[in-house]
Structure formats: structure tokens, C-alpha cells
Amino acid sequence: MKILCKHKRMISVFLRRYHVGSRLLNFVVHAAAAVTVLVLGFLVAYIVVRGVPNLRPSLFALQYTSDNQSMLPAIINTCTMTVVSLLLAVPFGVGAAIYLTEYARRGSRLTRLVQMTTQTLSGIPSIVYGLFGMLMFNSALQLGYSMLSGALTLAIMILPLIMRTTQEALSAVPDMYREGSFGLGAGKLRTVFSVVLPSAMPGILSGVILAIGRIVGETAALMYTSGTVAKVAGLMDSGTTLALHMYKQASEGLYLNEAYATSVVLLALVLLINLLSAKAAKLMVKGRG
């Protein structure tokens, strides 16, 4: 009986100590989460408060003048830039990833080399891509300041990202699907395109969305390639995207209010992309799963 009591006491002491420790940990974790949310909330609130009052209809005029800092041309250019960059990068990125995961021997020299290259490339600051693009496309290929030169630069920049996410998505497809397909007499091509790729689609799509995020938010890589002309631009014209437009407004210091208004739109755009992509991914999974 005595022993039992002693035992009980020890347990309760232990529990109390443990309790204090776990409560502390509990607090720290909650505080960390709260700080994160607060910072984010503050940021969004600040931008909205400073930006929304400056959102005038004239900011969405088709023409940009130095009196009317319209952002509509920049919005349109952002869309053009996104579409063209993706059209350039996605086929190569996805194609290369398919080759590396499905065709090349796993762990071969080539695979390792490409792996290393893509890892290195994704760590390079975007300003370096910008300078490379300027030297390569603007000067050497004589494209000048142009949307095309900007899109080519961005395509190179997002290529490693798309390759890596696609590779990951493909490797996550269970081998039993491949075996099932081969076992029915399907060849490599049919197996990859009818079974493996569709299963990997949500993963590939999420990579593409990450890439869109980078394109929409990019400034440094575009400054020296697409230029900062705030007009609706064709492929061979210089044209600014929304992020770059905002950067210019803010750095010149004359149009801070307009810059805030632009950032609200940019924020909304990013939010919209995320929502749409989440929906797309869900639809795709539902259609199959």
C-alpha cells in the first residue's frame, strides 16, 4: 500500500512536470502560428487599406499616360507573358521529365547530370537570368526589349521548376499501374500517355501553378529583357508586366498611391490563380478518383 502511494506520488510529480513542459510547448507552437497569421494579415490589410481607396476606374483605362497611370496594359501584358512563357517552358519541361523518369535508365549518368543542373539552376537569383536574357536574346539574337525576349528568359527560369515537379509527380505514380498496363500488352508510349501522365496530372498542374506565380511576381528577370513600357504589347514590342509596373511606380517615388493600387490588383490576381488552380486540381482528381 505504501509503495503504491509512493508510486502514485511520483507519477503525479512527473505528470505535473510533464504538464508544465507540454503547456510551454503548446504555447510556443500557438504563438508561432499566431505571429505568422498576424504578419500575413497585417500585410494584406495594409496593402488593402492603402491601395483600395486609390483604385479609380481611370486606372483601368486602355491607354497609359504619365497623367493617368493606368495598369490595364500591364495586366494584359502579364497575361500574355504568362501564356507565352508557359507555352515555351511546359512542353520542354514536361517532355524532359517524361524522358528522365520513364525512358532514361534510373540513376544513369545523364539523369544525375540533369538532376544536378536543374537543382543548380533553380537556386540562381532571377537577376542573373535577367542579365543572361539581355545578353542572349536582346543583344545576340537581336530581339531588343520585347515581350518575346522576356518570355524566353522566364521560360528558362521556370524550366527547372516544371521539370522537377513533373519528375516528382511521375515518380509518385505507383509502378503497379505501369506493370498493369505492360501486362495487357500496351507499349511504353501508350502506358506513359494513357496511364502514367493522367495519374500525375494534379502534381504537374501544381508545378505549373507555382511557375505562374513566379512569372506574375517576377521583376528582376524582366527589367532588362521585356522593358518597362506601359503599353499593351505584341510579342516583338517592349511591354511591362504588373509587378514590374508597380516596381517602377514605387521606385520613381512619384506614384506611390498608384503603386499601392497596383499591388492590390496583383494580390487579387495571385489569390485568383491559387483558387482556380485548387479548383482545377480538385476537378481533375474527382474526374478520375
**CB of residue 267 vs other proteins: minimum separation in angstroms?**
36
Which one among 190, 231, 235, 273 touches other proteins, defined by CB under 8 A? 190
251 HSE (CA, 13 A, CB side): 9
**CB of residue 194 vs other proteins: minimum separation in angstroms?**
7
**CB of residue 175 vs other proteins: minimum separation in angstroms?**
9
Task: Identify which range of 42-50, 162-170, 192-200, 205-213 contacts other proteins by CB under 8 A.
Answer: 192-200
Residue 101 touches other proteins, criterion: CB under 8 A: no
Instruction: Tell me how many degrees the CA angle 283-184-205 measures, rounded to the nearest 5.
Output: 25
74/248 Cα distance (integer angstroms): 12
Nearer to other proteins by Cβ, of 57 and 187: the residue is 187
**CB of residue 162 vs other proteins: minimum separation in angstroms?**
23
214/161 Cα distance (integer angstroms): 10
Task: Identify which range of 90-98, 193-201, 231-239, 263-271 contacts other proteins by CB under 8 A.
Answer: 193-201
Contacts of 81 (CB under 8 A, 6+ apart): 147, 150, 151, 154, 215, 222, 226, 239, 241
Which one among 57, 125, 185, 253 touches other proteins, defined by CB under 8 A? 185
71/73 Cα distance (integer angstroms): 6
Q: What is the CA radius of gyration of the chain?
A: 26
Task: Identify which range of 7-15, 17-25, 176-184, 246-254 contacts other proteins by CB under 8 A.
Answer: 176-184
- Of the candidates 237, 252, 249, 242, which has an alpha carbon nearest to the alpha carbon of residue 218? 242
Which one among 105, 109, 123, 140 touches other proteins, defined by CB under 8 A? 105
Pair 81, 241: CB distance under 8 Å: yes
Residue 189 touches other proteins, criterion: CB under 8 A: no
Residue 39 touches other proteins, criterion: CB under 8 A: no
Residue 194 touches other proteins, criterion: CB under 8 A: yes
- Of the candidates 214, 217, 170, 219, which has an alpha carbon nearest to the alpha carbon of residue 195? 170
DSSP state of 223: H
Contacts of 22 (CB under 8 A, 6+ apart): none
Task: Identify which range of 35-43, 141-149, 180-188, 248-256 contacts other proteins by CB under 8 A.
Answer: 180-188
Residue 205 touches other proteins, criterion: CB under 8 A: no
Task: Identify which range of 15-23, 77-85, 86-94, 182-190 contacts other proteins by CB under 8 A.
Answer: 182-190
Residue with cell 549518368: 109
**CB of residue 191 vs other proteins: minimum separation in angstroms?**
9
| Site residues, other proteins (CB under 8 A) | 105-106, 174, 176-187, 190, 194-195, 198-199, 288-289
